[in-house]
Structure 1
Amino acid sequence: CSPNPRSDKRTTRSKSMVMGEVSRGSCRPGSPSLQEGALKAGWLKKQRSIMKNWQLRWFVLRSDQLYFYKDEEETKPQGFIPLQGCQVNELTANPDEPGRHLFEIVPGGTGEKDRAPISHESFLLMASSQTDMDDWVKAIRRVIWAPFGGGIFGQRLEDTVQFERKFGPRLAPLLVEQCVDFIRERGLDEEGLFRMPGQANLVKDLQEAFDCGDKPLFDSNTDVHTVASLLKLYLRELPEPVIPFSKYEDFLTCAQLLAKDEEEVCTV
């Protein structure tokens, strides 16, 4: 699942399928309304393999399918991309073609976490910005790898904990426990902990590994600031903070009461 370096030729080649043709078979599922069960929606360009040109389409991510429509008002999709067993990879930017934020969805067909090279043709998509592409890649990976315990960045805290309880009692996600244990062991005397950034490329690699259901281990060569940055990234991407929105005012009230008690003790 981790993106591999690709040549400029790879980014410009037309290896994508004509998605409309693939998706229009008799097994095509019904067309749910655009709002029903949508995990993410937005504009993307998809490449046609025959003409090698780009089509702007409205994409809607639901369950394990990625639907595309002619525009956001359409109720009947032109086609869909089945995501089960797929891999999604960001493609290396071509310096000769700035502004092309490309990623691919590679069909696997096995439904298992097989990292071997896949010969199936890929769906080539283009986002409007790096941020937009990152959001789509993370959302699609979450759908693909959630059944295997991955896709945890941006996933609800309770969903992650509930899945991991299949493997034993747990009060916090394994990623959180692993980061906290490592920081306690190696980082308590580190200057600038949680303020100094870690290695951005390594943080991204670790994020992608956890999102693909892997459980990478930290060792003596792992930079503690990288682990701290990974933990901050996980917490920052939670759909709801660790302190739930519904309890936020209660926590503020408790903090105010504690501060008041401390003031009264100091004046005695």
Structure 2
Amino acid sequence: MRSAAQIKGHPLHPMLVAFPIAFGVAAPVADSVGVIGEWATLWSAGAYLATAAVIGGLVAGVPGLIDYVLVVPPNSSASRRATWHLGVNLAALALIGAGWAFRHPDTLQPGTGTIVAEFVGLAVMTAGGWLGGTLVFRNQIGVDHRYAGAGKWKEATLTGKGGETIEVASADELKVGQMKLLHVNGLRVVLARTESGYSAFDDRCPHRGGSLADGVLACGTVTCPWHGSQFDARTGAVTAGPAEQSVQTYHVEEVGGRVRLVVPAG
């Protein structure tokens, strides 16, 4: 799913995480070599690198937190993985920062506790990076799909009373094979255009919670991008597993060149 914290389609979080990773690697190395070689300048650099790692990690975490709240599908395996990713990386920064407690306040010389905390923090950060990579390459968080002949990712936030009919798109806004993610009163609904017209259904794949709006729509069938489950875009019925449950569909109609959705109750 396209990142909410991005510049011209480029997610900010993966652009920024390179800095705390680099500082997090350099800090314990500089401190260790500085202590072994009794090189005060180097261990002083280690102190500043550790500080930069913590600050850089917090800055990089801001766009990551935005995507965690706005992009990661709720009630999904990716949501649980993203929560671990967040917690593990915060723990890594806390460990690196805790190393300051063992430094000499005047010379900044690191104690054994400093170096141990920094290396453990680096190991924990590596685990956090593994989780982050899984979120991108397996769950496709932050991936901006482009559909041949069908435009770019589309998303909109709408409100309305249950049972009310609201306008969600113009009749020519979507091409056949394209989908649009609608946030309707907090509910994620996919508006899809198939060869036989418009349809609407839940965004959540019942298997592991993958975003169907982020999948592929072809020949009236939507395919979940995570594990390949397939559903009939008009009825919501499962046409291929591993999902076993159908997805909820909603009434949508095309009137006077506008596409209108009946707001789900509740």
Instruction: Answer whether TM exceeds 0.5 for this pair.
Output: no
Structure with max Cα Rg: 2
TM (normalized to structure 2)?
A: 0.25
Select the structure that is richer in strand.
Answer: 2
TM (normalized to structure 1)?
A: 0.25
